[in-house]
């Protein structure tokens, strides 16, 4: 593939949410994003570090928690959640929407990009910045082979991992990670993904093509592609502070 060529794999609306802890509304229990496309599916992806990667960090794991087939199903997952704990009950507070916008997953050379633009709120405040949200950002994105081992305490347990059909599993060959292509992986709960800040110095020193990408991707006109994406539908009030 021509290193200047970019292929749009998926695009649509993106929503950033967090759910506070039940005993402390100031603490974060879970940070997650919801991806929605014209297919009207809602993919719920949980981000492990409870914030997006920054330049000083190497990479963050996230995983597909659920796939919802309607807005009504999605809204159910955002409500308060009750859990039995011994003889008592604990309540997880309702999830709060931090921001909404548009996203593109694109293939460029031998890697894939996850690019987003926030449309609301117009100006990011402290509550959004605490999760390392920016008005727009671009990450490399890989998918993990569920058949490879991971260190104890890292990633999902064996029973939680995705079980892919043969045509998808064969994409990995013997690799632990591959670029996120095709995006059909999103349709399988338990899919583990890796978000990498593409500005990491050690990455660009190891990968010559990625070093070129930092220059070339800026010249690729994605304005028209983002313009094709319809304005995100409001699914939950935005968190103001």
Is 38 within a domain? yes
Residue 20 forms part of a structural domain: yes
233 in a domain, yes or no?
no
Whether 1 is in a domain gets the answer no
238 in any annotated domain: no
pLDDT band at 53 (very low <50, low <70, confident <90, very high): low
pLDDT tens sequence across 153-189: 667 888 899 999 999 999 999 899 999 999 999 999 9
Whether residue 215 has pLDDT greater than 60: no
Residue 188 belongs to a domain:
yes
**What's the mean pLDDT when you consider all of the chain?**
83
Query: Considering only 54-63, 99-108, 166-175, 213-222, which range has the smallest mean pLDDT?
Result: 213-222
Mapping DSSP onto H, E and C, the string for the chain reads CCCCCEEEEEEEEEEEEEEECCCCCCCEEEEEEEEECCCCCEEEEEECCCCCCCCCCCEEEEEEEEEECCHHHHHHHHCCEEEEECCEEEEECCCEEEEEEEEEEEEECCEEEEEEEEEECCCCCHHHHCCCCCCEEEEEEEEECCCCCCCCCCCCCHHHCCCCCHHHHHHHCCCCEEECCCHHHHHCCCCEEEEEECCCHHHHHHCHHHHHHHHHHHHCCCHHHHHHCCCCCCCCCECCC
Please indicate, yes or no, if residue 237 is contained in any of the structural domains: no
Is 241 a member of any domain?
Answer: no
Enter the pTM of the model.
0.86
pLDDT of residue 204: 43
Number of domains in the chain: 1
Domain of residue 137 covers 6-228
């Amino acid at each position: 593939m021509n290193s200047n060529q970019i292929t749009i794999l998926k695009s649509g609306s993106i929503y950033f949410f967090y759910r506070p802890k039940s005993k402390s509304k100031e603490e974060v229990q879970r940070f997650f994003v919801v991806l929605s496309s014209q297919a009207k599916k809602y993919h719920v992806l949980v981000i492990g570090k409870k914030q997006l990667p920054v330049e000083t960090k190497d990479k963050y794991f996230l995983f597909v928690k659920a796939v919802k087939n309607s807005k009504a199903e999605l809204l159910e997952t955002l409500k308060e959640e009750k859990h039995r704990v011994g003889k008592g009950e604990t309540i997880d507070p309702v999830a709060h929407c931090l921001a909404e916008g548009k996203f593109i997953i694109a293939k460029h050379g031998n890697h894939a990009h996850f690019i987003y633009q926030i449309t609301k709120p117009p100006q990011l405040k402290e509550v959004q910045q605490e999760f390392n949200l920016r008005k727009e950002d671009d990450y490399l994105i890989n998918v993990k082979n569920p058949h490879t081992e991971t260190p104890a305490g890292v990633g999902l347990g064996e029973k939680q991992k995705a079980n892919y059909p043969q045509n998808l599993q064969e994409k990995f060959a013997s690799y632990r990670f591959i670029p996120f292509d095709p995006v059909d992986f999103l349709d399988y709960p338990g899919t583990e993904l890796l978000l990498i800040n593409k500005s990491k110095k050690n990455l660009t020193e190891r990968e010559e093509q990625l070093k070129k990408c930092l220059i070339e991707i800026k010249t690729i006109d994605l304005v028209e592609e983002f313009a094709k994406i319809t304005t995100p539908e409001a699914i939950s009030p935005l968190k103001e502070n």
